Structure 1
Amino acid sequence: MLVAFGHMVFSWGLLALAGESKLTADAIDFVYYYVTTISTIGYGDLSPSTPIGKLLYSFFIVIGGLSLFGTILGKFVQSISEAMRLRLTGKHSMHNAYDHYLILGWGKRSEDLVKLIDHGRRNSDQILMLGDSSLDTNPMPDLLDEFLKTDDMATSHFLGRVGAKNAYKIVINTGCDVETMAICLALNALQPNGNVTAQFSSQEKANLISSNCPDFEILVDQDQELLAHASLEPGSGKIMRQMLDKRHGFTMLSTVLENDYESYAPLSEKLDASGARFMGVVRQGEEEADLSNLANSEFSKGDSIFYLAEERIESL
């Protein structure tokens, strides 16, 4: 670009010396004349009138300008093609991503996971991104806005590429407990701003990560527990699944308190006004939820309130 700019300025100087005042007196007119000439458009409304000006036009402006124009256009097309290739193969970078949903790994039932998260996005502008080491292309381009590929997801370089530090929510669902553990430890060192949830098959490995990453939400595949409970309490499986699926209307949601409440009554009024039904609270710094009678309890800023509602309450 600097060479092209230099060629344009040099052309203006030579034409000015040749007495082509009609071309050089006005800067906008000259830029218009120069661009239309080197791009071969050449409307003909502006042209050199002196013999020297015509020679400069023929042997310097046209030949040099066309060469530069072709080079710049070729590099531009090449850069666009390269950017598209990198994006299609997941080798690009989204390090500037912010407030996005990030899924790391493509494990069992990942398609259902993507559909549920897509349905639960706070707004359609939030990016839903997948990072994975086993796939070659985006498996769900209609729902996944971005796909990034790597050989190792547990590296600071890759976590930087997917913008993990500033992600709104991070879900780790690799299908391999060892890989999930490595990603959890790498993320714990990064200290991301958003919530991190990881899925394990082994309770032992889940407990190990829970002790090392206390701020992460660690889940164990609970299909067997759900199966056993549903057999003992017929119909409970349907209710439990519906509570976790926002596509069915009322579902379990949470909001972090922005204020202190001396009792349950004022909090209950706000929940009722939003059509929400209180379920329980996870107090700040504690791992277990409190589902007991909370009529006389106090609630502190930073506690997570869980409730059944059709839409999330953004502020409490």
Structure 2
Amino acid sequence: MIFNKLISIVQRHIHQFTWPLLVVLVMGHFILTWLGLFITNEVDLANWLVYPYYYVVTTSTVGYGDYSPVTDGGRIWVWLFQIPIGLALFGAFLGKAGQSIALYMRRKIMGTGKFEHLTNHIVLVGYHEQVTPKVVEQILADKHRQGRKILLCDKYQTEHPLQEYMEWLEYARVSSYTLDNELRRIALNRADKVIIYANGDDQTLTTALKLSKVVKADCHITAWFNDESKVELLREHCPNIECFSSKVAESLVRSMQDPGASRVQEQLLSGLFGDTQYALQLPTNLPKSFSYGQLFSAFKLKHDATLLAIAKERNGNRLEVNPELTAIINPGDYLHYIGNNRIDVADIDWHGFYES
């Protein structure tokens, strides 16, 4: 049984000409070549301080000529065994390397690779020609973002649709957004952030319901809908998902009543120019609470940032915009602010704020 299994493994490696087989053949040729030189009294070449250098230079046909066999037996061994077989193995190595690189690039482009190694990455579910490139551009525009990989998942694109961003953006073509094996393949359980904008509200809703149960506890999921009713439904069943829909009517009326409002909204949402809206969480280990007035003044004076709102939950639930200056902000609460750049929580002197 064991012998038959061993034979089967060997046959598979020979049939597919795998890397393990190639390594075994090269090592075997390396050792046998040395053994032949040793037997034929090639003292200089058989020296282990010289032999690896000589083997690589001669077998790869570089041939500097500083080392060569001097005995008749050594010359016969080199032209009969080392060079012919070495050339074949060298060619096989180059061919295998080229094949592996081509396969790797094809998988990256066709989206058939594996991504189980990713951790704390950003997953984009669904591709839209007009929207997705802007989403990626906005993510990369954050100068103080963590260097997370972005993984775009889609069912319909036959190849990587945004190859100009391949340094940061991987592509996974999936058969389903809800199959467990596909979710394992994209390492969803280790993702840090997820944006769901699938092909239609029904698909987005189904995907969001599934993913909300698979992601880690601190993963933040965002979903976008056309239908406002689905937003309310998802908020009711999946409180760990921040979902929203377009506010076209509100934006139009606000711009009509307050000219320039659309430009303000545009700048607050975009990280490509001007001050932008950001959020951070107060450390949970702070010794006491702040008043909104304390933080409002301290953020403006020390970080040139303007506080907008406070929230008790990460998804913006229990949000209070422009609260009273006496409003209490507790450790662990979330602050929404406007700034030229994202402020790192570690760069804030929270204890100094108590004295301001």
Match of 2:131 among 82, 105, 109: 109
Match of 1:212 in 2: 237
Match of 2:29 among 4, 7, 18: 7
Match of 1:271 among 291, 296, 299: 299
TM-score (norm: length of structure 2): 0.80
Aligned length: 315
Match of 1:118 in 2: 140
Q: How does 1:1-316 map to 2 (within 5 A)?
A: 1-25=23-47, 27-107=48-128, 109-120=131-142, 122-123=144-145, 125-143=147-165, 145-192=169-216, 193-258=218-283, 259=286, 260-272=288-300, 273-284=302-313, 287-291=317-321, 293-315=323-345
CA contact (8 A) 2:188 2:215 kept: no
CA contact (8 A) 1:263 1:295 kept: yes
* Structure 1 residue 80 displacement after superposition: 0.7
CA contact (8 A) 2:292 2:323 kept: no
**CA distance in structure 2 between the aligned counterparts of 1:263 and 1:113, rounded to whole angstroms:** 35
| Secondary structure, counterpart of 1:197 in structure 2 | strand
CA contact (8 A) 1:156 1:186 kept: no
> How big is each residue's C-alpha offset from its partner over 1:160-205, in whole Å with a ceiling of 9 and x where there is no partner?
3334333343211224112212321232122234321110112222
Q: Could you tell which deviates more after superposition, 119-128 or 149-158?
A: 119-128
CA contact (8 A) 1:171 1:198 kept: yes
* Structure 1 residue 24 displacement after superposition: 0.7
**CA distance in structure 2 between the aligned counterparts of 1:221 and 1:28, rounded to whole angstroms:** 71
| Structure 2 stretches lacking a partner, 5+ long | 1-22, 349-356
CA contact (8 A) 1:155 1:186 kept: no
Aligned residue identity for 1:277: T
Q: Could you tell which deviates more after superposition, 79-88 or 232-241?
A: 232-241
**CA distance in structure 2 between the aligned counterparts of 1:123 and 1:238, rounded to whole angstroms:** 24
| Structure 1 stretches lacking a partner, 5+ long | none
Aligned residue identity for 1:190: V
